[in-house]
Amino acid sequence: MPPGVTDSQKAGDVPTPAAESLKKITLPQGFRAQLFAAEPQVMQPIAMEFDDRGRLWVVENFSYPTLKKNNGVSNPAPDRIVIFTDRDGTGRNVERKAFLESGRNVTSVLPGFGGVWVLSLPDLLFYPDANGDDVPDGPPVVHLTGWNIQAGHNFVNGLAWGPDGWLWGRHGITQKSTVGRPGSPTNEWVTLDCSIWRYHPVTKEFEVVCRGTTNPWGLDWDENGQAFFSNNVIGHYWHVIPGGFYKRMFGTHENPHLYELMESCSDHLHWAGAKWSEARGGPAHDALGGGHSHCGLMIYQGDNFPPEWRGRAFIGNIHGNRVLYDVPSRNGSGYTAKHGGDFLMANDPWFRSTVQITGPDGGVFIADWNDLGECHDSDGSMRSSGRIYKVAHGTPKPVANLNLAKLGDAELIKLLGHPNEWYRRHAQRLLQERATAGKLDRGTMASLPKLHAAEKDVSRQLRLLWALHVTAGTDEPFLTTQLA
C-alpha cells in the first residue's frame, strides 16, 4: 500500500482469498469468470476505463472515505492510477504499471484527446501525454474546480465519453458543488448536487444535463444513444432526459416552478422497502435483487455474449454481493426496465462491485472494491484488497497488441459499424480528436455524409450521424432534413 495507508477493518475480519472467491462465483450456463487482477496488483478499485490500445486503466482510491484538502506535505496523496496490459489477450499474462502514484481524492480516470482526464477533487484535471508513453508531459491542467470534498460517498464521479463528444459525469445529493473554470467570473459558475453533467473538451462548456435522484453511480448509453444511469434507495434505473428534474431522496430543487418530478423508469425495486437505513441483507431483500444500493451500469453491446443478452442493463448490487440485470424496452415516449435476474452471484460477503464495462473482446470486466462495509458502515476499511474479474461466454477470441490510434481514417469509419460497441465508441472519439486537430482527411470528411445517406441500418446510421456531429460535419439545414 502507499506510505501512510493502513487497514482499519476490525481485528479478525480477513478477505476471502482471491482464488477462493473466484471458485465461489456462480453465473448463468455457458458463462465463466476469470480473475484478471487481485491484491497486491490492485487495491480499492473505484473506477476503470479502457484506452485505445485495449489497456485497462484503474483508479486505486485510498482517500475514501475521508477526502482531504490539499495542504501540502502534512497531507499525503495516496491515490494511484495504474494500467493493466493483457499481453496475449488471455487474461493470464497481465502486466501492471503506474501512471500516477501520488493522486489526491481521485475518483475517475478517462484517456482521450492526447492525455488523461482525472477527477481529483476539487478539480477536473487533464494530464497531457502527447506521445502516449504513460508519463505526463508536465503538470496537469485544471479544467474545472469547485467539486465538494465533504460529500462522502456522494462525491463527483464517473467520467465517460458520450456519443455527443462531451465528457459526462455524475454527482450525489449530500453536498452541493459550485463548479467553474479557474479564473472565470464566479457568477458564471454552476451549482449542483444530485445530477448528471457534461463538459466539452474543446469548447470548455460545462452544463448540468438533468437533476435529481440520490447518488448516481453508473451511466451508459444504449444502441440508440439514449442515456441511462443507476441510482440508490428511491429507484435504481433512470432514463436521462436533458433538462429533466427527477424525484429526490430528500431536499428540494432550486427551481421553484416544478410541479411534477420525473420518476425512475424501472417498474420494480431490488429491496423489500421499510426503513432504507435498516434494509441491508436478509431473505426478503435478497429475493428481489439484494438491496437498495447500486454501483455501476453497463448496457451490454459487445459481441461475446449470446444475442439475447444484448441491450440488457447490468448493475452492481452492493448489499446483495452480486451483479444483476434489468431488461429495458420502449414504452411510449420513454422506457420501462423490468427485472431480469441475477447474473453474477459472488457468494462472498466481501464482494462490492463498483464498475462493470465491456472490453475489446466482448468480455465484461467487473471491479470488486472488496470490503465488508459500505458507505454507511463504520466498521473500518480494508484498503489492502481489491479484485478485477473478467466474465465471458465460452472462450472469446484473444485480442492483443491493439492500437486503434494507428488506424487510418477510413478504417476508423468502418469500425463505426463493428458489432462490439467498444470499437464504435473509440473510433468515433479518435475521429473527433483528428478533426479537432485539423488532421482528419478531407476526403474522409466528404465521405461521411454519403455513407450516412446510403446506410439503411438505423444503428449504423446513428453512429455515422454522431461521427458527423463530432467532426463538425453537420449544419442546421442538414439536421432539419433528418427530422423528416
Domain's final residue, options 393, 419, 443: 393
Q: What is the phi/psi pair of residue 22, to 5°?
A: -60, -40
Is the residue at 8 inside a domain?
A: no
317 in the same domain as 255:
yes
Asked whether the predicted pLDDT for residue 74 surpasses 50, the reply is: no
Provide CB contacts within 8 A for 15, sequence distance 6+.
21, 39, 350, 370, 382, 385
pLDDT at 25: 99
Percent of the chain with pLDDT over 90: 81
Is the residue at 59 inside a domain?
A: yes
The pTM (predicted TM-score) of the whole model is 0.96
86 in the same domain as 228:
yes
247 in the same domain as 161:
yes
421 in the same domain as 353:
no
Measure the CA–CA gap between 324 and 165, rounded to whole angstroms.
29
430 in the same domain as 320:
no
What is the tally of structural domains in the chain?
2
Asked whether the predicted pLDDT for residue 409 surpasses 50, the reply is: yes
Is the residue at 364 inside a domain?
A: yes
- pLDDT one-digit tens code per residue, 315-342: 999 999 999 999 999 999 999 999 999 9
430 in the same domain as 283:
no
Is the residue at 462 inside a domain?
A: yes
Asked whether the predicted pLDDT for residue 378 surpasses 90, the reply is: no
70 falls in which pLDDT band (50, 70, 90)? low
pLDDT at 76: 66
Give me the CATH number covering residue 249. 2.120.10.30
- pLDDT one-digit tens code per residue, 266-317: 999 887 777 666 666 677 688 888 888 999 999 999 999 999 999 999 999 9
Asked whether the predicted pLDDT for residue 411 surpasses 90, the reply is: yes
Half-sphere exposure of 218 (CA within 13 A, CB side): 31
202 in the same domain as 324:
yes
| 135, burial (CB in 10 Å: exposed 0-12, middle 13-18, buried 19+) | exposed
Asked whether the predicted pLDDT for residue 237 surpasses 90, the reply is: yes
CA torsion through residues 456, 459, 460, 463, sign: positive
237 in the same domain as 91:
yes
431 in the same domain as 376:
no
Look at the block and give the residue holding cell 506510505. Answer: 3
Is the residue at 14 inside a domain?
A: no
pLDDT at 11: 84
Given phi > 0 = left and psi -120 to 50 = alpha, else beta, which region is 466?
A: alpha
* Of the candidates 250, 274, 285, 276, the residue with the CA atom closest to the CA atom of residue 376: 276
The whole-chain average pLDDT of the chain stands at 94
Asked whether the predicted pLDDT for residue 124 surpasses 60, the reply is: yes
pLDDT at 328: 98
What range defines the domain where residue 131 resides? 24-393
177 in the same domain as 95:
yes
Is the residue at 17 inside a domain?
A: no
Is the residue at 238 inside a domain?
A: yes
Percent of the chain with pLDDT over 70: 95
pLDDT at 273: 75
User: Which residues in 241-363 belong to E strands, given as ranges?
Assistant: 245-248, 294-299, 313-317, 322-331, 334-345, 353-358
- pLDDT one-digit tens code per residue, 125-165: 999 999 999 999 999 999 999 999 998 889 999 999 999 99
Is the residue at 183 inside a domain?
A: yes
Measure the CA–CA gap between 117 and 124, rounded to whole angstroms.
7
223 in the same domain as 156:
yes
pLDDT at 73: 43
pLDDT at 41: 97
412 in the same domain as 372:
no
